[in-house]
Structure formats: structure tokens, C-alpha cells
Structure 1
Amino acid sequence: MEDPVTALTALDKRWLTEAIRLREEHAGLLDDQEANRHARQHGGDLAARIQTRALFLAERDGTTGALRHWQQGARLALLVLLLLALGSGAGLAFAALGDGLRPVNVFWALGSLLGLNLLMLLGWAVGFALSGEHGAILGRLWLWLSERLARDAKAAHLAPALLVLLQRERLSRWLLGLLVHSLWLLAMAAALAMLVALLATRRYGFVWETTLLAAEPFITLTQGLGALPALLGFAVPDEAMIRASGDTLTAVDSARQAWASWLLGIVLVYGVLPRLLLAALCLWRWRQGRARLSLDLSLPGYAQLRDALMPRSERIGVHDAAPDALPHFCADQHAPSSSGALLVGLELDDQRPWPPALPAGVADAGILDSRESRNKLLEQLSRFAPARLAIACDPQRSPDRGSLALLAELSRNAGATRIWLLQADTGQTLDAERLGDWHAALDRLGLVHVDTLPLNWLEHGHD
């Protein structure tokens, strides 16, 4: 059973599908014969088959693991930004009020607490209105940090694939907006909490100062800004308190408390609440759009897969040059509903008599000596998997990557698999080094190998 913590979500599956598409657009089609058979076996419409194929390739080639590494990097980057927001918010509050030894200029404090926040909010709103896909600095920083912290070369196409997928429903602005507003919400909440802590444990005096202006603009501004917080129960200094604070440092406790309540209300109403509402809006639109995400089947990378994945015709495949390093294949037995036993030969020459005498209940699948015979058997096994499969191999041949890949794929379509390494013909001997290569390769695949025909195992399931 798949771990729910690491299980792929619907978004993850579409994300991996887009990543595979981008990878194939840059490097050409992958070796996808087995993936195509797997997709056809699972059925569904073209979109479902394309996704099934992509998930198979992603798991085989390590892209799924790279996605998990990328997501771990994204969570770590988010944690860094959250800690930065917490520290910045608390630092803003402490810088605005100081240590209490000097009076607090209320408008300088207000500018320190809300100035940058409101400026960045205005920039986000302008960018959002002018270009719907505007990427905020914090959002782009998060994506950059996520990619750097992933440290996985196979994750190269993940970030572009995510952006391409989200832009299809114009979701990138909502996701990045959710991130940006949440970080600023945390910063403003931290600033508000620090303000409460400082005002509760220190004695502050509040003043306003001017050289050029009269008192009336400050009175109007103070009462105007305090109108909305007053609806929530926050105090607003009256005209006499405002005038007194402009003339000298007041020592009246009621005036101190009124200014402190006014300052807290301003930060809550104009700093915390706008970010909270915008974060909630972005979250709502993100969830709505995420439910509508689908693959764009008109893209060339998807359209060319139709013939290979739909049952009306079958694509033979693409021959690729040998890679610099041999790939790693995985051989599993995961056919719980399988039954029966089957013997098959792999690229055996005509000098060897075939088939050997077999007991009842053990079927002969012939010799796989062409691509057509391989594909035919694999198609048959994908529908009717045997409980036990024995594969006869000639150890006088080298274990090349094609043979090993075929052995691994055959084993994945049987309940249990054994490799029968044939003895040398009469008057001949096996090359010890080549036989050792076979043993090492089969051990890496996790396949049991024997040097005699396992008749008892094929017939009864044990030796």
C-alpha cells in the first residue's frame, strides 16, 4: 500500500506528465515500449493513458524521486522564508517603538510598520492588473530556492513544467499570490504580536512633530485613520490628546493608552487584515483552478502519442545509440492474480533442440528471436501473467543491455521468475569471464539463476 504521505496527488501526476513532455521535446522520445503497453493495459481515454505512460517513465527514470526532492527543497525554502518573515515582522515592531527611553513619533512608527508592506502591496496590485501572470519577487525567490535546494539533476524540467501547467489555467498568479500574501501576513502578525508584548511590558510616550505643518492636518489624519479600527473597538485619541501630544510629551496614562490602542488598530486593520483577505482569495481561486487542471492534448508532444497508446494501431519504437553508462533495470514480481507456468527461450541458436520435454501444466512460449515475438509475448503476459516463468538464456552470448531490459520486463509480468543458463554444447566449454558477467548482471536484477531446467519448480512451485 502506498504511503499517504508520499502518495502522488492529482496535481503531482499532471506535473510529472508535463515534465516528461518537456524532457521528450528537448531530448526526443524515451524508450517507451513497456510504458506504452502498461498504459494500454490500464485503459481509459487518451489523457489517462498519456498520464499513465508518463508516470511509468517518471518512476523508471527517477523523475518521481526528483519531484519528491524538489518538493522537499520547496518546503525547506518555504521554511526559510517563514523564519525570515517572522524575524522581519518582529524587527519592524522593535525598530518602530525602540527601547522606551525616548518618546515614539507615532507617524514615523506608523511608516516603519506599514510603509514597505503597503508599497509592496501596491506593486503587486499594479502588476496583477497590468499583466495577469505577474510574478512577485518573493514568489520567484521561492521557486529559485526550491530548485537550488533540490540538488537533483533530474529535476531540471520540474520548475518549467509546473509554470507551464499552472499558466494554462492562469493559476501561477494565484499560487505565487498566496505565497506572497501569506508571508506578509505572517510578518504583520509577528509585528502586531511584538507591539503588544512591548506595549504591555514597557512604558512608552507618544508624540508627533512638525516644523512646516499646523496641527489640523495631523488631527484629521489621526482621526481618519482611526475610523475603521474604532469600529472594532480600538480607541482613537480625541482632539485634545492629539494637540497635547504635538506640544509636549504627555504624562497622562489615558493618552498613552489611547495612542497605543490606535497604533495597534492601525496595524491590524491596514496591515494584517488586507493580507489575510487577499491570501484567502488566492487560496480560494487556487483550489478552484486546480480542480480544473487538465492536459492540453493539442500539444505536439501529446498528439504524437495517440497512435502508440490507442488500440487501433501500435508504434514499434525508436532505436537509440548506446548510452555512456548502462541503465539500471528493476526486476519485480507483482502479479498476485497470476496462474500457470511458462518456459521461454531468449535468442537461442538453431543447434539447440527446443522445446525440452515438459510436464503437463507447463506451457512452451517458444524462442524470442525478433522484436515481433517479444512484443507479442509481452502483450500476452500483460493480460495473462504466469505464476512461474523460466527463461532459458545462452551464456555464450554477452548480457547486453537489451537482453537485460527484456529479462527485467518479463519478470515484472510474472509471479516469480528464474533464469536458466544453458550448459555448453558437447565438446565445448563456457567462458568463465562471460558466465561471471551473466551472474553479476542477474544478481543486480535480483533474478534467481540456475544451470539446469527447473522442472519441479515450474510444475509444483518448489524444488
Structure 2
Amino acid sequence: MTESTTIPSDPTLDALWLTEAVRLTEEEASPLEDSEANRRARATGGTFVQRLILRAHLLGQRDGLIEARRHWRQGATLAFWLLAFLAVLSGAGLGFGALGDGLRPVNVFWALGSLLGLNLLTLLLWLAGFFGAGRSTSLLGRLWLWLAGKLARDARAAQLGPALIILLGRQRLVRWGLGTLVHGLWLLALSAALGILLALLATRSYSFIWETTILSSDTFVAMTHALGALPSLLGFPMPDIDTIRASGNAAQGLEAARHAWAGWLVGVLTVYGLAPRALLFILCFWQWQRRRQQLALDTEQPGYALLREKLMPATERLGVNDAAPEQLPEPSAGHLEIAGESAVLVAIELDDTRPWPPALPETVRDAGVLDDGQQRRRLLEQLTRYPPVRLVIACDPRRSPDRGTLSLIGELARCAGTTRIWLLPAPAGDQLDADRLDDWRQGLDRMALPHGERSPLEWLETGHE
């Protein structure tokens, strides 16, 4: 039966990704056997890029790359959820570590450092990699590819990760995609820290202090006001000067002082921790969505340049130079023109002792006997352009069902609506070998093709038994 192929009409990320993976696979190893895929891509028509995408899809279906891509996606998704779980767990640990068990006063600046210190350091490293040589982005990309590949557990996915990086790199999408991931994970971690912080402040009583040996109280007053200025504009409380000075000597038991310090700590975490990560996450995600629409293949790559002549033959690219004549010449003998509603009979490698073809009605076309590669290629081209509704393939079961013959049968069957295999009876005075006939049946059963020794010509003519 004709293989149902669903290909997006526009070059989508998945289609371009698969095409790049096929190119890398062929460059790494050797060109794939692609005669059928090239033929079907030429028959479908379209631009060179559309034909490249269809060819890659057909090869990906045959060689398992599409299934490998699904496994790679599953691995990448699992890796993300593992990282997200670790981010939430780490954020919750930061929240607990910042406030402690409530038995001792909380040093507000130590608490603030534990909540925002690592976040600030990684943010500076990301910015340095983003505006600099991009080494941190590259390392993170390699780590992500490694983790996704390990979790995919599919050897066929070896070129999928590098192909995705190469494709996305043309629009600088790697940094935006990984930026979305990194800032999203930090947003989860800081949100978890804020949630734990609010839960602890709501259920336990904490006192806040600051301590110093060499700095003056004026330094901490200035630091507190500088950090709390922006949060105070958003409605978060700010400790007054007397409260700040008093907290340096001993923990303040006054409820107003505890509320002021708790609100100040939550406000600083929200404004200088969550807000920058949220803004960067939105920016990276927006750039990812915008630039993803501009993805395209680099058809000047050597791997694609070699395919141009196969997928865009010179005779096809020349176009029509002369006006069509009033009457077209009749097809010469041996050139089969098959209509879309036709039924076709074809035989494979029959010897001269067997009379062929049998008597056929006018509605059934005889495609002859395929004996060499040129005949096969010509018939496959014609069947691809004009697929018949019903196809009968006659085979001589006295021959061994080698891999090449079964492969040809499979290609022919994919060019027709419904296919049946006719295992011809032995000529008079001859006898079929039972083991060889059983080999034919097993091979055709593996291909899920109906077969039998009884003549299927009535079915070929009418579609009924």
C-alpha cells in the first residue's frame, strides 16, 4: 500500500532539524541509499528546500531517525523536569537556610547573602558569556546535549544534538533557548525560596540583627536604605533609622521592628532576585519565539550541494522554452503511461520458458518483466508519478527471495494503493521447492503483503475476488 506521509508544508523546526541530522549522518559515515526517497521527492515537486525536507523525512522514517528524535525529546524533557525538581529543592533549602529554626536571631545581611549570593554570581557569569565569547553558553549547551542524549538511550540519536545546535546557531537561537531554560530554572528556585520564606515568617517568630566589628552603624543604615529604596516604592516596608541602629546592639522584640525587617527581606529578594530573572526569562522566550520563525537551511553546505542535481535535475530546472505542439506524439513502446485509476500487472525476472503476459482486459495495464536496473528505475518513476489503485507483482518462486528482490517488491508496493503478490505456479513438468516457497511466504509476511499461488487477475480487474 502507499505509505502515508504527513509532511508540514512549511519548513518547521522539526523538519529542518531532521534534515540537518540526515546531512550530518551522511557526512560522518557515508551517503545513504536514497534512490527511492529522491524519486519520491522529485515526483512531489516544490522548491529545493521542500524536496530536501521530504527526502530527509522519508530516510528518517526508514532508518529510525524520527523515532530517535522522539526519544531525544523525551530525554530532553526528562532532563528538564529533573533540573526543575532540583531547582525547587535547592530554592526551598535556601529559604530554610536563610532563616534557620527561629531559636536564634537572624543576621539579615547573612540571610540576604545566602538567598541572593549564588544567584547574583551565576547571573553575572551568564551575562559575561552572553556578551563575551559565549563559552559558558557553549559549556551549558554541551551539558544539556550530553544529558538529553544519555536519557534518550538511542544510538541513532547521536547526530540529533549536534544538528540542533548547528541549526539554532544560525539565528543565535542557542543562547536564547538556553537562556530561557536557565532563567526559568532560577525563577523556580527563587520562587520556592520566597514561598518557604513567607511560610516560615507566617508560622514562626523571628528576630533580626546585624553585626560588625570594623564597620559603623551608619554603614548599615546606608546599605539598608539603598537596598530597600526600590522595594519601598512598590509598597514593601523599610526599617527606620532608629530600628536599624537598635538592631545592631541586640535583637528587637518589638513587633513593628520584626515586621519591618521581614518585609524588607522579602522585598529585596523579590526585586533583586525574582524580578530580574523573570524579565530575562520573558526576553529570552520572546526572542526564541521570534527568531525561530526565521530558521532556514544553509543550502550552500557541501552535503546539500551534492543533492541539488539529484533532486532538481537540469532538465527539470530548464523549464519550457517552446510552445506546446497541437498534437502530442504517442508514447513509444516500452514507455508506460499509467492513469491514477488504473490497475497494473508487473513481473520480476521471469525466464523465457514461461509465456507472458497472460490475457488481460483493457482496464489492466501490462508493465512487462523487470530484468535490469534501468527498467526498474523507469517503472518506479512512472508509478511514483501515476500511482495505480491496484498492483499485482508476479514472481517466480523457483528463484530464491533475495534481499534485492524483496526490496524492489517493497518499493513497488509503496507506489500503489493496494498490492498483491502472485507466486506463479511451476510450468508443466516442473515442481516447486517447498523450502524455497516457504522462504517466499515468510519474507512477504514480514512485509505484510498479501500473496498466494491462485491467480489474482480477477481482483486486479474488478477489485473483488
**Fold-level match, TM-score > 0.5?**
yes
Pick from 110, 113, 117 the counterpart of residue 111 of structure 1: 113
For 1:385-426, what per-residue CA distance to the aligned partner results, in whole angstroms no more than 9, with x for missing partners? 111111111112111111111111111111111111112222
Pick from 31, 37, 40 the counterpart of residue 38 of structure 1: 40
Query: What SS is found at the alignment partner of 2:296?
Result: coil
Using the size of structure 1 for normalisation, the TM-score is 0.92
Query: What SS is found at the alignment partner of 1:365?
Result: strand
For 1:70-127, what per-residue CA distance to the aligned partner results, in whole angstroms no more than 9, with x for missing partners? 1011111100000000011011000100111111000100010000000000111111
Aligned to 2:30: 28
Pick from 111, 129, 132 the counterpart of residue 131 of structure 2: 129
Aligned to 2:381: 379
User: Are residue 342 (structure 1) and residue 344 (structure 2) matched?
Assistant: yes
Distance in 2 separating the partners of 1:55 and 1:147:
21
Pick from 258, 263, 275 the counterpart of residue 265 of structure 2: 263
Amino acid at match of 1:86: V
Query: What SS is found at the alignment partner of 1:305?
Result: helix
Amino acid at match of 1:341: A
Amino acid at match of 1:85: A
C-alpha change, 1:82 and 1:393, in structure 2 (3 Å) is same
Query: What SS is found at the alignment partner of 1:304?
Result: helix
Following TM superposition, by how much is the alpha carbon of 1:350 offset from its aligned partner in structure 2, in angstroms? 2.1
Distance in 2 separating the partners of 1:95 and 1:289:
41
For 1:191-217, what per-residue CA distance to the aligned partner results, in whole angstroms no more than 9, with x for missing partners? 111111111111100000011111111
Amino acid at match of 1:377: L
C-alpha change, 1:138 and 1:241, in structure 2 (3 Å) is farther
Following TM superposition, by how much is the alpha carbon of 1:441 offset from its aligned partner in structure 2, in angstroms? 0.3
C-alpha change, 1:421 and 1:341, in structure 2 (3 Å) is same
Check conservation: 2:125, 2:136, Cα contact below 8 A.
no
Aligned pairs for 1:180-195 within 5 A: 180-195=182-197
Query: What SS is found at the alignment partner of 2:236?
Result: coil
Aligned to 1:410: 412
Check conservation: 2:11, 2:296, Cα contact below 8 A.
no
Amino acid at match of 2:149: E
C-alpha change, 1:22 and 1:53, in structure 2 (3 Å) is same
Amino acid at match of 1:69: H
Q: Which runs of 5+ in 1 are unaligned?
A: 315-336
Amino acid at match of 1:36: N
For 1:408-452, what per-residue CA distance to the aligned partner results, in whole angstroms no more than 9, with x for missing partners? 111111111111111222222212111111000000001111113
Query: What SS is found at the alignment partner of 2:367?
Result: strand
Distance in 2 separating the partners of 1:138 and 1:50:
31
Amino acid at match of 1:271: G
Aligned to 1:301: 303
Aligned to 1:330: none
C-alpha change, 1:246 and 1:9, in structure 2 (3 Å) is farther
Query: What SS is found at the alignment partner of 1:344?
Result: strand
User: Are residue 207 (structure 1) and residue 221 (structure 2) matched?
Assistant: no
Following TM superposition, by how much is the alpha carbon of 1:340 offset from its aligned partner in structure 2, in angstroms? 2.0
Aligned to 1:99: 101
Following TM superposition, by how much is the alpha carbon of 1:130 offset from its aligned partner in structure 2, in angstroms? 1.1
Aligned to 1:49: 51
Check conservation: 1:135, 1:173, Cα contact below 8 A.
yes
Distance in 1 separating the partners of 2:341 and 2:138:
58
Check conservation: 1:133, 1:170, Cα contact below 8 A.
no
Moved more, 98-107 or 447-456: 447-456
Distance in 2 separating the partners of 1:62 and 1:453:
36
Pick from 436, 439, 451 the counterpart of residue 437 of structure 1: 439
Check conservation: 1:86, 1:186, Cα contact below 8 A.
yes
Distance in 2 separating the partners of 1:459 and 1:216:
101
Percent of aligned pairs with the same residue? 59
Distance in 1 separating the partners of 2:249 and 2:120:
30
Amino acid at match of 1:141: L
Q: Which runs of 5+ in 2 are unaligned?
A: 317-338
User: Are residue 253 (structure 1) and residue 269 (structure 2) matched?
Assistant: no
Distance in 2 separating the partners of 1:202 and 1:392:
85
Pick from 221, 224, 230 the counterpart of residue 232 of structure 2: 230
Distance in 2 separating the partners of 1:59 and 1:377:
23
Using the size of structure 2 for normalisation, the TM-score is 0.91
